[in-house]
Amino acid sequence: MELSDLAVDGNAIAGSLAEIFAVDVTSAQVQCDQCGATHPLADEKAYVRGPGSVLRCANCSAVLARFVKARDAIWLDLRGSTAWQIRTRT
Amino acid sequence: MSVISRGFGSKRAAADPRIPPGQYRTEDFPVLSAGPTPHLDTAVWALDITAVDGTRHTLSWQQLMELPDEELTVDIHCVTKWSKLGTHWRGVPVTALLDAAQFDTEDTHYALVHSYGGYSTNFPLEDLLDGKAWVVFEYDGKPLAPHHGGPARLLVPHLYLWKSAKWINGIELRPDDRLGFWESLGYHAYGDPWQEQRYVGD
Amino acid sequence: MTETHSTSRATEPVASGIPDGGPPVGEPRPGPFPWLTAELRGSWMETRTAKTLLLSVPGWTGHDPGQHVDIKLTAEDGYAAQRSYSIASASAQGWLQLTVETVSNGEVSPYLVETMDPGDKLQLRGPLGGWFRWTERLTEPALLVGGGSGIVPLMAMLRQRIQSGVATPFHLIYMARTPDHLFYANELYTLMQSHAGVTIDQLYSRSGLPDDSRPPGRLNLDDLPTPTAEPSAVAPRVYVCGPTGFVENAARLLQARGHQSDTIRTERFGPSGG
């Protein structure tokens, strides 16, 4: 097993994000603050096995968002992403 | 209300005084990460130690290897609930690193440790001194593998393992505390496993 | 029933599982997704190391193929572990199937594959994931490219196509390490023989069968059709799933073959598949 990169993709955090977002966000278009690349959240890199989840740009690996499910609260940091476009109706 | 899955986890019995509250013993060494594993060449590896006044002392790999090192066997405790007992490392005590930098630590009460890749974690300075913390470069008698934080990581066994920053590249001495990567997102600023200080407010 | 993608429905999405009254083409079932109790009813091995689990889930109203569930196991001492698995079955009320590959040194998969018995319970939530999803309302042909356990959500899509009775052309390219690593071997063979609109290319990366025309090896450009090669000559929606390395390679090759990036959806399982 290649251990050099444990990344999965944004599909893996659908469940965690469903605890706070009313609509599915795997289809959200996320723009990276660092390099400007925009991807669907599902295509961004996700690191999910640590103390929290980290979403990183599929292009440049900069941190787009971080998520922690603590005892009584969920902590969300969206610094690193310029904007999220979440479709509410297709 | 949790539903119990019969037969799951039955090997994890934790009735051992070396296991902190809420932890479970593992024989594995799980690999957890917040980002891609950096692949670092010791020829260009550097550890920056920064004083409160901004003065910087940079240690090369060669210089790290010239400092007195020691073997240590410690128990490690991850906030994701696994504990691994009796892990073997070799490394340089952080005290020796700070001595080599010859900084005046009078106004220094805290340290913010930095990693290649942008990770950070914070400490009261005294938790890095006097036999409590090392920069380690060997695990189990072999060079520390990249996925476990090699070529060198911080090891602070008396605190939760998220504080033992992999791929260490900086120690920033500070007069005030500045929260690191996980501490600024809900995790406890100090992180004592024996007081079960996992999250803010614990 | 004809559908166009720009149609907006007057009715709000209904989580009832009724096909015609359900959510518009573009919207997945809405949350919240509480933890539901699932009970194992039966299971069978697909390979020496992978097992399909048939789970009874009261309160489950179905899913769109491609979606996944989060599974949570809780031990008697309170220890809990959570993982995500793609749903293998077509949409149904009250039950679903998962196919799980044992990951050595894994925490959850060895329990599901080796320990769990009929009558045992776990918790799951979903269906999750609105992006990597197919529904029978989509009219373009579908090109499915799966590596290893990446076949699981693609099989759900194929099963849904059969269950719904639509005639959408489906082309599955399934890369397995060896014939011993194939999931759903009999079912795939039967589907291809009995459904004119379904084409299946079985590829092997390590070793194959004596009379294979393609020698075993990594996915390459020749293994993939161009966008206009499909019978209807309409560019397909492409779904790629498998370990991260497989998906990145396949996506790159597909674009080199002329598939537009906005027609390709991917799901990466990580280095070991889950």
> Which pLDDT score is estimated for C1?
35
Q: Is residue B58 within a helix (H) or strand (E), and if so which, with residue range?
A: strand B56-60
Q: Does residue B55 form part of some domain?
A: yes
Q: Does residue A1 form part of some domain?
A: no
Question: Whole-angstrom Cα distance, residue A31 to residue A41?
Answer: 9
Torsion sign across C-alpha atoms C186, C42, C145, C197: positive
Q: Does residue A2 form part of some domain?
A: no
| Domain count across chain A | 1
Query: Per-residue pLDDT averaged across C97-113, rounded?
Result: 92
* Residue-wise DSSP of C62-123: ---TT-EEEEEEE-TTS-EEEEEEEB-SPP-SSEEEEEEEPPTT-SSHHIIIII--TT-EEE
Which is it for strands C237-242 and C264-268: parallel, antiparallel or unpaired? parallel
Q: Does residue A76 form part of some domain?
A: yes
- Which of C24, C28, C132 is opposite residue A11, by nearest beta carbon? C132
- Whether the CB of B80 is below 8 Å from some CB of chain A: the reply is yes
Cα distance between the two ends of chain A: 40
Asked if C268 and A87 come within 8 Å (Cβ–Cβ), the reply is no
> Which chains form contacts with chain B, at 3 or more CB pairs under 8 Å?
A, C
Q: Does residue B18 form part of some domain?
A: no
Asked if B3 and C80 come within 8 Å (Cβ–Cβ), the reply is no
CATH of the domain at B179: 3.90.420.10
Token readout for A61 is 């690996």
Domains of chain C as residue ranges with CATH: 36-128 (2.40.30.10), 142-268 (3.40.50.80)
CA torsion C203-C208-C210-C215 (nearest 10°) is: 60
CA distance C73 to chain B (A): 6
Q: Does residue A90 form part of some domain?
A: no
Instruction: Show residues of chain C in contact with A40, CB under 8 Å.
Output: 131
Instruction: Show residues of chain B in contact with C79, CB under 8 Å.
Output: 9, 12, 24, 81
Q: Does residue B126 form part of some domain?
A: yes
Asked if A66 and B186 come within 8 Å (Cβ–Cβ), the reply is no
| Domain count across chain B | 1
Residue A47 domain boundaries? 8-84
Question: Whole-angstrom Cα distance, residue B162 to residue C136?
Answer: 46
Local confidence pLDDT in tens for the 90 residues of chain A = 334 467 899 999 999 999 999 888 999 999 999 999 999 999 999 999 889 999 999 999 999 999 999 998 999 999 999 989 988 765
Token readout for C194 is 């009995």
Residue B123 domain boundaries? 50-185
pTM above 0.80, yes or no: yes
Q: Does residue A74 form part of some domain?
A: yes
Residue C23: is its pLDDT beyond 70? no
Q: Does residue B83 form part of some domain?
A: yes
Q: Does residue B4 form part of some domain?
A: no
- Whether the CB of B62 is below 8 Å from some CB of chain A: the reply is no
What ipTM does the predicted assembly reach? 0.90
Local confidence pLDDT in tens for the 202 residues of chain B = 789 999 998 655 556 889 999 998 888 888 888 998 999 999 999 999 999 998 999 999 999 999 999 999 999 999 999 999 999 999 999 999 999 998 877 789 999 999 999 999 999 999 999 999 999 999 999 999 999 999 999 999 999 999 999 999 999 999 999 999 999 999 999 999 999 999 999 9
The alpha carbons of chain B give a radius of gyration, in whole angstroms, of: 17
Which is it for strands B24-25 and B82-93: parallel, antiparallel or unpaired? parallel
**CA neighbours within 13 Å on the CB side: how many for A74?**
11
> Which pLDDT score is estimated for C31?
82
Instruction: Show residues of chain A in contact with C28, CB under 8 Å.
Output: 24
- Which of B32, B39, B186 is opposite residue A50, by nearest beta carbon? B32
- Which of C31, C84, C272 is opposite residue A12, by nearest beta carbon? C84
The burial of C49, by beta-carbon neighbours within 10 Å (0-12 exposed, 13-18 middle, 19 or more buried), is given as middle
Token readout for B146 is 């990249």
Question: Helix, strand, coil % (nearest 5) of chain B?
Answer: 15, 30, 50
- Whether the CB of B11 is below 8 Å from some CB of chain C: the reply is no
The CA-atom distances, in angstroms, between A62 and each of A28, A45, A48, C133 are 18, 10, 16, 27
